[in-house]
Structure 1
Amino acid sequence: MAQVDENHLYRDFCLRKNYPLEPSVKQALKNASVTGDFDVSGHPLGIETCEAIAYVLAKSDNLVTLNFTDCMLNPTCLNIIFEALISSKNIKELNLYGNNITTHVTVRLGKLLAHNSSIKTLILKWNNMGVSLDSFSTFCSGLKENQTLENLDLRNNQISQQSAKEIADALRVNTSLKHLDLRWNSIQNEGAEELLKSLEENQTLMTLQLRGNFVHREILIAIEECLKNHVSVLKMSTDHVVKTEILINHIKSLEETKTKQLTKITEAANKHMKEAEKRLSEIMEENRTMQKQIGTLEEQVFTYKTKHKNEKQRAEALEEAIKEREASIKEQMTNYQNTIEKLQKSLQMKELEQLKQVNTTQEKISNEKEVIIKLENDLAIEKQTCMNLRSELAQLKSQYDTKTKHLEENYEMDKKIWQKKYQELEAATESKIEKIRTLSSEKQQSLENTIMELTERQSNKVLLINDRIERMKQEKRMIEEQLQSAQGTVVQLQRENSSLISQVAEPARKLTSLLEELSNEKMQNQQLKHEKMEERKSREILQNEYETSKKEIMSLKSMYNNQEMHFEQEIKDMRHRCKHLEAKLEERERKIANIRHEEKARAKLLHSAFSKYWDRYHPSSGES
């Protein structure tokens, strides 16, 4: 929203209700419109101004932090503000330092925590929340239900041992709280022990401050060790997540390369299928031309048969005429017999020539049958090549599936190993330092954002891979359907060829062209063999890439071990620094104790001197 919008809302509400305008609230809203921080600390606020502030909170989306430090808010004012914050989604920090929060307000705070899902930092120091155990238990029940609060400050709230037990019960359920400040209360040893027990179940809390609660040093050290364990476990889990993401990205790159190779293979198969279809179309055209030639030959044979029948009919007619005229023409029989014998000889010669022609045509038909058989063999060879291509595609798919399964198994094995290491670290690690905790808490937010982005990218990539796999399956189905259709066309061609064998006599001119086409097909087969050799080489390249990826994983593991050693050394250094700081603190406390002792001695001296002076100058009052 704009800079003036919050002030405009505040003025409209006050004018409608006839409420006075507070200059401190106006200035705070001006600053909040720029920075998002609404700060009215040190200014007492009444019920009317709190109603106006609640109205602005309900309408505005620009406010992020609220600071009500030392505002002397009564329970009704606090309830009004809490009602506005229950449905708010933009407030990240709420500061109620020094507002004398007691029983009823504590209950309302618990309800606010149970329903609000935006507040991450809640400052409640210097209040009286621990006075009533029942109200504090309701506050802790709201903390149980809350899943967004990360920082909680409860300093100087009169929290007792039993109240600390309620906090411990809440920590067993809550998974979002990371920093808890309980300094200067009355938790004592029993409450601290309950908190320590709750930390065994809670793995998200990073810092827990218990100074000024009359707690033994051993319990404090145990709590610090447990929190150190939490930090180290969180660091290990983040490293594990990063490495698993690296492995997943590498696996995806391998899958992409494999899909590219499969697309190349399918493109080559499609090209081969298109060439085979072209070849089949050419053969169909040749068969059509052959059918036309067969029709012309059949017409010629039909005309020849009709001529032969006509000649036979004429011969029969002549024989009948000769038989009728035998009586009248006996003298000319000898001449006619000679002529008839000559004609018969000529007819025999013609019949022999016709038989020779028929034999030659039969030889041609047999030769053409052999050519057709060769063509059928070539078609069978092409069919076998297609089947071999299909088998090679199936083998490549099976190899791809086996490789993916192997990679998934390796991923699951690595995951199990890391889980075991994680459990061992949970059982073993018991040390932690406050500086490392603060650094990890500051960096954790950025890491969580990056993790969310990476998970979203990963899910999108997984969806894309699934879509590509489905597309590959559909393309495979299309190829199989094309192969089935090609097989059907081949079967039809075989049937047509078998029907043509008994009828067709292909001319000898086309034998040379067929031989040339066969030589071209041989060249194509050689090209296919060359492509297979290239595919083998690509497989070897993939295997080499897989080995390099293994080496990279080993190097990452070694880097991880080196980082672990480095972190252990840093932890040792920090321990040494903490010991040094503790020694300095002890020296300062000694100096402070000495100064106090000296001040007490001086006060005694002054008191004795003043009493002597009084007795000297006022003896009557001393006697009385």
Structure 2
Amino acid sequence: MEEFRRSYNRLCEESGAEPQEAVLQQLHQLPKGGLDLTTQSLTVETCRALGKLLHKETLLKELVLSDCMLSEEGSTLLFQGLCANTSVQHLDLKGNNLRATGAEALGKLLRQNKSIQSLTLEWNNLGTWEDAFATFCGGLAANSALRQLDLRNNQISHKGAEELALALKGNTTLQQLDLRWNNIGLLGGRALVNCLPSNRTLWKLDLAGNNIPGDILRAVEQAMDHNQDRLTAFRENQARTKILSKEVQHLQEEKSKQFLDLMETIDKQREEMARDSRASAVRVGQLQEALNERQSIINALKAKLQMTEAALALSEQKVRDLGELLVAGDQERQSLSQRHEKERKLERQEAADRESKLLRDLSAASEKNLLLRSQVDELERKARSQQEQLFLTKQELTNTSAELKIRAIQAEERLDVEKRRAKQNMEDLEKLHSKEVDHMTRHLEESERAMQERVQRLEALRLSLEEELSRMKAAVLSERGQAEEELIKARNQARLEEQHRLAHLEEKIRLLAQARDEAQGTCVQQKQMVAESQARVSQLNLQMEGQQRRLEELQQELINKDQEKVAEVARVRVELQEQMGRMQADLVAQEALREKVAALERQMKVIGSEHREALLDRESENASLREKLRLKEAEISRIRDEEAQRASFLQNAVLAYVQGSPLRALSPPK
């Protein structure tokens, strides 16, 4: 609780208020699980801090705030903190003069809180404001945790009692309600009496000091007695049900133990039988494996014999194939020799053809050489003619230059004449003269360049023709040498190929002879192996006959074991049938117990029905008593009316007597 006190100090400091010393002392002396602030005047700040602390407090079980003079705001803050609290079970708010706001806050608290079981609200004013008290009653109707409620001295009127009656109809947990010293009256008492048949949990309701008639109080007491009887019967029924369920469970456990023991015995017998059968099966399996092994050996020998016979047949086939190959080799050798002769003839003919071809090529090359020589001569003639043309061109060039010089002289003369004739046109003539000179010089230069290019082309053509002639001569000589070399190589290659073919054929004949000798040796060995295999097969047949006799003996033993197993199984079945009979007897006993339980349940149902009938009888008696009470009240009201009428008659008579009027005139008509 020291943590609670520190939290209270911290919250007060955060809100800027001083913590109350009295509260701190109470928190310091706080007993475990409870907080008692009786007669401590709590301020609003203290209530706010306590509300925040109670919002998350989980250790506090009891909270006593009686005579703390809580204000409306302080009580609201406290109740807001308690709305989310899950540990407080007892709340005492005695003597705090709670009014409308407090009643509404309490209604909200009862709606939201799920832990408060006891609530003391003595000496408050919750019933003064009907709307606020209706809110409180609505919260009570929705609450599912409250067991005890103290509303003494709360100024509850008959309307508040009606709201409280509606709340009691919806509430299913409240057991004790104290409404002493309020203003419930006759109407409120009737409302409470009418709501009690709908409430089956309330077994204590105090209504003393509420101006309620005695018959209503007796009706309330009867309803409470009914609820107490119902609660007592319910508890007794629960106790009996628990006892019977325990007995049934004990019987079931005993039967299950017996059944488990029986099943264990059966399992053991089954395991023994399974072990015997497994041992027999293992022995038979071993014998079968031995027999299979011998059979596999015999099969292997048979397969080996078949393989040997197949190898022998294959060797014979190979010998025949080798003989055929030898014959084919001889034939091939003869055909190869014939083919070789033909090839040699063909090669000789080809060599002769090549020589004739080379001779023809040589004659063609010589003819081509002569043709090239004639072409060279012709080109030389062309070159000489071009040189002559070049000489003529140079001569023409010199003539042209001479003519140009003459023309220039003539032009100069004409120019002098013109200068003398017309000085005014001197500039034009000079320009024209310069243009003509330039044109002539350009024409002369171009013609010189063209002639030089033509001379160069002719010289290049002559050089190319000379080079081509030299190349042709070299090509003719190289072709002739190559033809001679090819002829020599062809002759040497034909001779070498003939020698290689002869050596290959001789080696092949030698290998075929060796293979024939090896095949004959292998055939002899295979015959010996066949004889040995036949001897082994005869021995294995004898062993197999012995194993078959052994197998027959083992099968006879297995049949004997099976007969013993059948006898054992029959004995176990008899024992199981006996045990099943005992189990059926136990089941019959269990059925008897179940019938007893059902009889007890039927008795309980009969008792319950009788109890319900008694309740109905009492309710009918109550109804008859109410009817009698109503008749009595009607008779009393009639008597009162008659007495009032008589009093009025007497008063009229007295007045008439006083006034002196005759009494007969004032007498009532009959």
TM-score by length of 1: 0.51
Q: Taking structure 1 as reference, are residues 283 and 195 closer, same or farther at Cα in structure 2, changes over 3 Å only?
A: farther
- 1:54 matched residue in structure 2: 51
Q: Is the 8 A contact 1:156 1:185 kept in 2?
A: yes
Deviation at 1:544, TM superposition (A): 5.0
Q: Taking structure 1 as reference, are residues 301 and 147 closer, same or farther at Cα in structure 2, changes over 3 Å only?
A: closer
Q: Is the 8 A contact 1:294 1:504 kept in 2?
A: no
- 2:189 matched residue in structure 1: 192
Deviation at 1:116, TM superposition (A): 0.6
Deviation at 1:121, TM superposition (A): 0.5
Alignment of 1:147-162 (within 5 A): 147-162=144-159
Q: In structure 2, the residue corresponding to 1:180 is in which secondary structure?
A: strand
- 1:288 matched residue in structure 2: 289
Instruction: Say whether residues 1:221 and 2:218 are aligned partners.
Output: yes
Alignment of 1:342-357 (within 5 A): none
Q: Taking structure 1 as reference, are residues 196 and 532 closer, same or farther at Cα in structure 2, changes over 3 Å only?
A: farther
Whole-Å separation in 2 of the counterparts to 1:560 and 1:228: 25
Q: Taking structure 1 as reference, are residues 27 and 302 closer, same or farther at Cα in structure 2, changes over 3 Å only?
A: closer
Q: CA deviation digits over 1:55-95, x for unaligned, max 9? A: 33234322111111111111011011001101100000111
Q: In structure 2, the residue corresponding to 1:507 is in which secondary structure?
A: helix
- 1:246 matched residue in structure 2: 246
Instruction: Say whether residues 1:163 and 2:160 are aligned partners.
Output: yes
Whole-Å separation in 2 of the counterparts to 1:131 and 1:184: 14
Whole-Å separation in 1 of the counterparts to 2:21 and 2:61: 21
Q: Which residue of the other structure, out of 78, 87, 90, is the alignment partner of 1:81?
A: 78
Q: CA deviation digits over 1:340-378, x for unaligned, max 9? A: xxxxxxxxxxxxxxxxxxxxx9xxxxxxxxxxxxxxxxx
Whole-Å separation in 1 of the counterparts to 2:116 and 2:214: 33
- 1:212 matched residue in structure 2: 209
Q: Taking structure 1 as reference, are residues 65 and 281 closer, same or farther at Cα in structure 2, changes over 3 Å only?
A: same
Residue identity opposite 1:152 in structure 2: L
- 2:112 matched residue in structure 1: 115
- 1:178 matched residue in structure 2: 175
Q: CA deviation digits over 1:240-262, x for unaligned, max 9? A: 44425426634752674346655
Compare 60-69 and 47-56 and name the one that shifted more.
47-56
- 2:488 matched residue in structure 1: none
Whole-Å separation in 2 of the counterparts to 1:505 and 1:299: 19
Whole-Å separation in 2 of the counterparts to 1:56 and 1:147: 24
- 2:5 matched residue in structure 1: 7
Q: In structure 2, the residue corresponding to 1:38 is in which secondary structure?
A: strand
Q: Is the 8 A contact 2:287 2:551 kept in 1?
A: no
Q: CA deviation digits over 1:491-538, x for unaligned, max 9? A: xxxxxxxxxxxx999633344443433333444344434444444444
Residue identity opposite 2:548 in structure 1: P
- 1:27 matched residue in structure 2: 25
- 1:443 matched residue in structure 2: none
Whole-Å separation in 1 of the counterparts to 2:575 and 2:193: 66
Whole-Å separation in 2 of the counterparts to 1:539 and 1:31: 72
Whole-Å separation in 2 of the counterparts to 1:532 and 1:31: 80
Instruction: Say whether residues 1:517 and 2:515 are aligned partners.
Output: no
Whole-Å separation in 2 of the counterparts to 1:507 and 1:186: 116
Q: Is the 8 A contact 1:122 1:153 kept in 2?
A: yes
Q: How many residues align?
A: 367
Q: CA deviation digits over 1:7-30, x for unaligned, max 9? A: 222222233334333233123223
Q: Taking structure 1 as reference, are residues 540 and 154 closer, same or farther at Cα in structure 2, changes over 3 Å only?
A: farther
Residue identity opposite 2:17 in structure 1: Y
Q: Which residue of the other structure, out of 39, 42, 56, is the alignment partner of 1:42?
A: 39
Residue identity opposite 1:7 in structure 2: R
Q: In structure 1, the residue corresponding to 2:548 is in which secondary structure?
A: coil
Residue identity opposite 1:249 in structure 2: Q
- 1:604 matched residue in structure 2: none
Q: Is the 8 A contact 1:151 1:179 kept in 2?
A: yes
Q: Is the 8 A contact 1:79 1:105 kept in 2?
A: yes
Instruction: Say whether residues 1:138 and 2:179 are aligned partners.
Output: no
Deviation at 1:44, TM superposition (A): 1.4
Deviation at 1:167, TM superposition (A): 1.5
Whole-Å separation in 2 of the counterparts to 1:100 and 1:208: 23
Q: Is the 8 A contact 1:10 1:53 kept in 2?
A: yes
Alignment of 1:432-511 (within 5 A): 507-511=548-552
- 2:227 matched residue in structure 1: 230
Compare 545-554 and 143-152 and name the one that shifted more.
545-554
Q: CA deviation digits over 1:257-290, x for unaligned, max 9? A: 3466556656655665565455444434333333
Q: CA deviation digits over 1:366-407, x for unaligned, max 9? A: xxxxxxxxxxxxxxxxxxxxxxxxxxxxxxxxxxxxxxxxxx
Instruction: Say whether residues 1:96 and 2:93 are aligned partners.
Output: yes
Whole-Å separation in 1 of the counterparts to 2:4 and 2:233: 45
Compare 504-513 and 168-177 and name the one that shifted more.
504-513
Q: Is the 8 A contact 1:110 1:141 kept in 2?
A: yes
Deviation at 1:228, TM superposition (A): 2.6
Q: In structure 1, the residue corresponding to 2:35 is in which secondary structure?
A: strand
Q: In structure 1, the residue corresponding to 2:197 is in which secondary structure?
A: helix
Structure with bigger gyration radius: 2
Deviation at 1:302, TM superposition (A): 11
Instruction: Say whether residues 1:128 and 2:125 are aligned partners.
Output: yes
Whole-Å separation in 2 of the counterparts to 1:292 and 1:525: 32
RMSD: 4.0
Whole-Å separation in 2 of the counterparts to 1:199 and 1:263: 61
Q: In structure 2, the residue corresponding to 1:35 is in which secondary structure?
A: coil
Q: Taking structure 1 as reference, are residues 298 and 21 closer, same or farther at Cα in structure 2, changes over 3 Å only?
A: closer
Q: In structure 1, the residue corresponding to 2:225 is in which secondary structure?
A: helix
Q: Is the 8 A contact 1:175 1:202 kept in 2?
A: yes
Alignment of 1:222-621 (within 5 A): 222-242=219-239, 243=241, 245-246=245-246, 249-250=249-250, 253=253, 256-257=256-257, 258=259, 261-262=262-263, 265=266, 269=270, 272=273, 276-277=277-278, 279-293=280-294, 507-543=548-584, 545-546=586-587, 554=596
Whole-Å separation in 2 of the counterparts to 1:172 and 1:157: 21
Deviation at 1:206, TM superposition (A): 1.9
Compare 76-85 and 17-26 and name the one that shifted more.
17-26
Q: Is the 8 A contact 1:291 1:504 kept in 2?
A: no
* Structure 1 stretches lacking a partner, 5+ long: 305-360, 362-502, 569-624
Q: Is the 8 A contact 1:14 1:20 kept in 2?
A: yes
Residue identity opposite 1:128 in structure 2: N
Q: CA deviation digits over 1:572-595, x for unaligned, max 9? A: xxxxxxxxxxxxxxxxxxxxxxxx
Whole-Å separation in 2 of the counterparts to 1:97 and 1:511: 106
Whole-Å separation in 2 of the counterparts to 1:35 and 1:240: 38
Q: CA deviation digits over 1:456-484, x for unaligned, max 9? A: xxxxxxxxxxxxxxxxxxxxxxxxxxxxx
Q: Percent identity?
A: 26
Whole-Å separation in 1 of the counterparts to 2:66 and 2:304: 123
Q: Taking structure 1 as reference, are residues 528 and 108 closer, same or farther at Cα in structure 2, changes over 3 Å only?
A: same
Q: In structure 1, the residue corresponding to 2:160 is in which secondary structure?
A: helix
Whole-Å separation in 2 of the counterparts to 1:189 and 1:544: 67
Q: In structure 2, the residue corresponding to 1:283 is in which secondary structure?
A: helix
Q: CA deviation digits over 1:118-167, x for unaligned, max 9? A: 10101111111111221111111111211111111111111122222211
Whole-Å separation in 1 of the counterparts to 2:236 and 2:584: 28
Deviation at 1:117, TM superposition (A): 0.7
* Structure 2 stretches lacking a partner, 5+ long: 306-540, 612-670
Q: Taking structure 1 as reference, are residues 505 and 44 closer, same or farther at Cα in structure 2, changes over 3 Å only?
A: same
Q: Is the 8 A contact 1:36 1:64 kept in 2?
A: yes
